[in-house]
Amino acid sequence: MSNEITGTNPLTQLRSCTTARIFIGRTGNAIPLKQSLAFKLAHAHARDAVYSRLNVDVLTDKLKLFDLLLLHVHSQATNRQKYLQRPDYGRRLDDTSKAQLKGYCGEDIVIIIADGLSAEAVNENALGLLKILIPKFRAADLRVGCICLAEEGRVALGDDIGEGLNAGLSIMLIGERPGLSAADSMGVYLTYKPRPGLTDESRNCVSNIRKHGMSYKQAAEKIFYLVNEAFKRKLSGVALKDNEGLLDH
């Protein structure tokens, strides 16, 4: 007999608050068939996300609405297999991309859209976030120099790009590592004065941006706050605390 959690169980309300697999019940010594199949489907979605590709053509066309310089760059990982096997390759630009960045004058901000471990996440979510975020920057007189589309990129690739463009701050939109409850989650990493050699403690992250996670509006407000604080205090990372909304004492 199946002991799957039903709608009359008091734990059902708690389960409705998360997509995590909690209180899924059992059938004998196994989980119920429905939950077993759902797990396998989620695992398939996660694998598909890892091998998804950045839709460069579609994104390039849609990003034209911002009237910004658009650049297409690539990491040293020549293909997905190299990207997964050699994380260090995904952190550095290839020679062609480095040469492409030469000659551009620096601006306050460079925005980077990278595939990461779920290109589908940025394909789905990047434009919606930028439609709210870029007007905020423009209203605050923060200059966005360009948008870079980066293939086979990891977070630290933003350091190479930021230095190459002499940007004051880099904002990287990147697909997060897919889990078994979300394969379409986008993260945003902010780095003040980006340059090769920085580590993750030098960055701030706003994560879980997706339809069933943090909304574009919430994420844009949080990123805008952090960017302003980064320029005001001339730093980012662990030294830049998110104190927005806290009462002064």
Q: pLDDT value at position 198? A: 95
pTM, rounded to two decimals: 0.86
* Cα 76 from Cα 71, distance rounded (Å): 16
- Given a cut of 50, whether residue 249 has pLDDT beyond it is no
Please give the share of the chain, as a percent, with pLDDT higher than 90.
Answer: 69
* Cα 158 from Cα 112, distance rounded (Å): 7
- Given a cut of 90, whether residue 90 has pLDDT beyond it is yes
> If you average pLDDT over residues 184-210, what whole number do you get?
95
Q: pLDDT value at position 245? A: 61
- Given a cut of 90, whether residue 112 has pLDDT beyond it is yes
What is the DSSP secondary structure assignment for residue 75, as one 8-state letter? B
> If you average pLDDT over residues 101-127, what whole number do you get?
91
* Cα 24 from Cα 5, distance rounded (Å): 6
> If you average pLDDT over residues 81-94, what whole number do you get?
96
- Cβ contacts of residue 119 below 8 Å, gap of 6+? 49, 52, 53, 54, 55, 175
> If you average pLDDT over residues 58-64, what whole number do you get?
96
- Given a cut of 50, whether residue 2 has pLDDT beyond it is no
Q: What separation, in Å, do the N-terminal and C-terminal C-alpha atoms of the chain show? A: 58
* Residue of 15, 180, 157, 26 lying closest to 90 (CA atoms): 157
CATH architecture of 60-233: 3-Layer(aba) Sandwich (3.40)
Assigned token pair, 116: 């990461």
Q: How confident is the model at residue 9 (pLDDT cuts 50, 70, 90)?
A: low
Q: pLDDT value at position 29? A: 83
- Given a cut of 90, whether residue 107 has pLDDT beyond it is no
CB 194 within 8 A of CB 167: yes
Least confident segment among 39-48, 130-139, 142-151, 158-167? 39-48
Q: pLDDT value at position 60? A: 96
- Domain boundaries along the sequence of the chain: 60-233
Task: Please indicate whether residue 183 or residue 230 has the higher confidence score (pLDDT).
Answer: 230
Assigned token pair, 216: 């574009």
